[in-house]
Amino acid sequence: MTIIDGSAVAAFSLREKGYDRVLRELRVLPTTVELCVKEAGNAIVVAARRGLIDKTQAALSFKALKEASLYNPNFYK
């Protein structure tokens, strides 16, 4: 069983360096807790507030997060 945490999901959603490694792990349907998605969402908001990403990138990041959580039924176990 593969377990993934919020920082990895945030890195994937924000397309941070190394996000492709997270993508490989997401493809094996890892297990995580509901808090993980909330942590990743918070990281997107913080990045936008700090000016690290613009509104368009924030919207794309939230879309990626939503798609990952819908695609993977193990995201809430």
Task: Report the DSSP beta bridge partners of residue 3.
Answer: 31
What does the domain layout of the chain look like in residue ranges? Answer: 6-76
Predicted TM-score (pTM) of the model is 0.69
Residue range 4-44, pLDDT digits in tens: 777 887 887 788 888 888 777 777 766 666 677 788 889 99
Q: Any residues with CB less than 8 A from the CB of 69 and at least 6 apart, and which?
A: 37, 75, 76
* Residue 72 one-letter amino acid: N
Give the pLDDT band (50/70/90) at residue 58.
Answer: very high
At how many degrees (to 10) do helices 19-26 and 6-13 cross?
A: 110
| Residue 76 pLDDT > 60 | no
Q: Any residues with CB less than 8 A from the CB of 15 and at least 6 apart, and which?
A: 61, 64
